Amino acid sequence: MAMLILAGLALLLVAWWGTATWRAERRRAQWAAAPFPGAWRRILRRRVPQVARLPVPLQLRLKGLIQAFLAEVPIIGCGGLTITDEMRVTIAAQASLLLLGRAVNAAPASHFPNLRQVLLYPGSFVVDRPATQAGGVQQEQRRTLAGESWQQGQVILSWEAVRDGAADPDDGQNVVLHEFAHQLDQETGPANGAPAMPGQAHARQWAQVLGAAFAELHRRLAQGIPSCLGAYAASSEAEFFAVATEVFFEQPRALLDEYPALYRVLAGYYGLQPVHWQ
């Protein structure tokens, strides 16, 4: 009898989850289908020049994703910062680039499932983090950051870094792309450079290609050979994925030339070919 009750409860839970998911996706579709505000369109032209490079169908899809993102994710000012539409739209546009190709066969804003809020500071912010000193002693170390992503569902950003990263879509440095790539990575647990994949075959290919590219970057750095990825990408697999995402969107030709297999696997993951936008 107890087993039957448990089975019934499990079925009810599955049914509830399916209904809740369907309702959430329906809300996102409604938000995405609403007319895009003219004031937001002007903000995109002024603050996010990357958008104008997209093919028109992708621009339209991106605008829907922006609306769904902003309807669902609160952006909270910190350090005395008053949040404006300019800030909200600039952040949402860049974050939604990561969803743009993945949304083709899915409902809008599918998505950053763990994301609960974005915390925005006027400039760089200071955090204390444990660090291992000589002899294995743990000490708090103060660090100044422009962005950070937490597995618990927060992304913390500097508006100054957000604004500057959006203004130059060719320098390969974009704090929003970087931190939201970490959010994708953190869907399955602590960031480790292995975001969720649709199956084991994709996961094996991902591990093989990123592992080889990570090793190649270390070889280049050891030999003093310049790389579009830079030294910070070599600090961990998680940072490698986040930096590679920045470069994929902002310097795709350089990434394709230096790491063709890495470019292709990222193009498959994001469902986009930014090399054709330049």
Predicted pLDDT of residue 18: 52
Predicted pLDDT of residue 1: 59
More confident residue, 140 or 16: 140
Task: Please give the Cα distance from 81 to 268 (Å, whole number).
Answer: 38
Predicted pLDDT of residue 124: 87
- Confidence category of residue 253, pLDDT binned at 50, 70, 90: very high
What domains are there in the chain, each with its CATH number?
28-127+140-191 (1.10.472.150), 193-278 (no CATH)
Q: State yes or no: pLDDT of 110 exceeds 50.
A: no
Query: Would strands 125-132 and 117-121 be described as parallel, antiparallel, or unpaired?
Result: unpaired
Helices (H), the chain: 2-33, 38-47, 50-53, 56-72, 85-100, 159-167, 175-185, 200-222, 237-250, 252-258, 260-270
Q: State yes or no: pLDDT of 33 exceeds 80.
A: no
DSSP 198: S
Residues with Cβ within 8 Å of residue 54, at least 6 apart in sequence:
62, 100, 277
Work out the burial of residue 114: count CB atoms within 10 Å of its CB; fewer than 13 is exposed, 13-18 middle, 19 or more buried: middle
- Contact by Cβ (8 Å): 173, 165: yes
Q: State yes or no: pLDDT of 27 exceeds 80.
A: no
The stretch 93-121 carries a mean pLDDT of 79
Indicate the SS3 state at residue 120. strand
Give the chain's end-to-end CA distance (angstroms, integer): 65
Q: State yes or no: pLDDT of 108 exceeds 50.
A: no
